Structure 1
Amino acid sequence: MVDHSPLYNSFLIKTYLEYLRHHYPQLDLQPVLIEAGMSLYQVEDPAHWFTQETVDRFQEGLVRHTGDVDISRKVGRFTAHARVGGALRQYMLGLMSPAGIYGLMEKNYPLLSRGAVIKVKKIGPRRVEITATPKPGVAEKPYQCANRTGIFEMFPALFTKELATIEHPECFHRGQTCCRYIVSWRASETLRWRRLRNVTLLAGVLAAGATYGLLPFGLWAVVSAGMSIGVGFCAFWSERLEKRGLTKTIEDQRRAA
C-alpha cells in the first residue's frame, strides 16, 4: 500500500533545486518537477510537506536528467551554503561550534523530515554517534541516507572549512535496524593555536623553574625570554584567528539574514 503521509519539508527540495541551478544551469527544472508531481508553488511554500512516493519520483528524475547517482550526498553537503538555507546557516553559526549543532540535531531534524527518529550521543570531544531509525510504515530509500550523510558532513565546514569524517557501520538499507553514523571532526585552527599557547606557557614555567640556579643567569634569562616570546606569539596569533573567525561569523550571519 502506498503511504501518502506528508513526510519531507519543501526546504529539502528547494535545496536540491538551488544545487541544480548552481551545478547544472543548462537543466530545465520544470520537467523534473512535473515528472515528480510537484509544482514550484509547493516547493516555495515552507509549510508544504511531500510524501515518500513524490520525493522518490523526484530523485529518479534527478538521476535520469543529471546522470549523477551520488547527487543526494552532494546536495547534503551543499545545504548550509545554499541561499535558501540562509536562516538555517545563521542559526547554526550562532551555536558557535559543530558540537553545538550536533547536540541539537534531535530537536531540529523533525523540522525537515518526519520520516525518521534521530538520536545523538557524544562519545568524544569532537566525536558523536548519530542513529536514524525510519518510523514504522516509512519506506525510506538509500538516497535519503546518503543525503543525511552529506548534511552531517557539512556542519564542521562552517567553522573549519573541512568536512567531518563519517563512519557508517550500520545501515537500515543493509538490513540493520537503523542507520548509525560515527561523526568526527578536527579542531579549528584557533583552538589548536590556543592549546599550543597553553602547552608552551606550561613548558616555559616548568623549564624556567627547573633551570634556575643551574644555568648561568645570563643564559637562563635568554632561554626564559625566548620562551616568553613563544608564548606571546601563540597568544597573539590565537587571538587574531579568533577575532577573524568572529568577524567572518558576523558577516555570514548578516548575509544569511
Structure 2
Amino acid sequence: MNPADPILNAFLATVFTWLMTLAGAALVFLPVRAERKLLDSSLGFAAGIMIAASFWSLLVPAIELSALNGYAEWLPPALGFLAGGLFLSGVDKIIPHLHPGCDPEDAEGLPTTWKRNRLLLLAVAIHNIPEGLAVGVAFGAAAATGELAAPIILALGIGIQNLPEGAAVSLPLRGEGLSEWRSFTYGQVSGLVEILGGLAGAILVYSFSWVMPYALGFAAGAMIFVVIEDIIPECQSGGNTDLATVSALLGFVLMMILDLALS
C-alpha cells in the first residue's frame, strides 16, 4: 500500500472487512445453530475490539495530530467524538430499523410500512457505517503522516470482529425463518456499507487536511455510540453476562496487542 493513495487503500481495506463479514455470514450454510451463548460471546468480542480500536487507532492519532497542527491536544478529538455520537443518535432516530430478536412494534426510527427483513438489514447497516468510516479516516490521516501501520491494524481488527459479527447477523435471521441464501445475503450485504463509509472518510480527510483530528474523533465517537447503544445491551440481554463480558475483555486485549506489537 502507498500512503499517498488513501482512497485506494481505504477501498482495499474495507473490501477485506466486507469479505470477513461474508465469511462469517456463510456459517449459515453449516450445521450450526444460532446458540445464544455463541451470539453473546461474538457480540461481546466485537464490542471489545471496537472500544480498543476507538482509542488506540483513532483517538490517540487524533491527539497527536492536534498537537502537530498547533491545536489544543484535547479539543479536536473531544469535539469530533461528541459529534460522532450525536450524529449516530440522530441517524438512529430517523432511519427505520429493527434489531434482530425484537418484535416489529419495537422498530426504531420514523414510522414505516417496510417489511421486517428490510428493517433488520438497516439496523446492521447503521451499525457498520462507523466501522467503514473509521478505516477510511485512518487511511486519510496516514496520507499526511506516512504511517500505514495504524490504519492497517485498525482494518485487521475490524475484519476479525466482522467474522463473528457476520454469523451473529445471518444465524438469527435463519432462526427467524428466512432461507439459508436470504440469511447469507442479508448478513454479507450489511458489510458492504463499510466500503462506502471507508471511501467517504478517506475522501473527506484527504481533501480537507485540517479536519483530520476532528474526523478521527468523529469515527471514534460513532463507534462507541454503537457499542453502548446496541452491542452491549444485546449481548447482555440473553443471560450470558459473564461470558459476554469476558469476550469483550479478550477482544479489547487482542486489539491492544495488535496495535502496540505491530505499530
TM-score, with structure 2 as normaliser: 0.31
Using CA pairs under 8 Å that are at least 6 residues apart, name the structure with larger relative contact order, 1 or 2.
2
User: Which structure: greater helix fraction?
Assistant: 2
TM-score, with structure 1 as normaliser: 0.32
- Return the index of the structure with the highest Cα Rg: 1
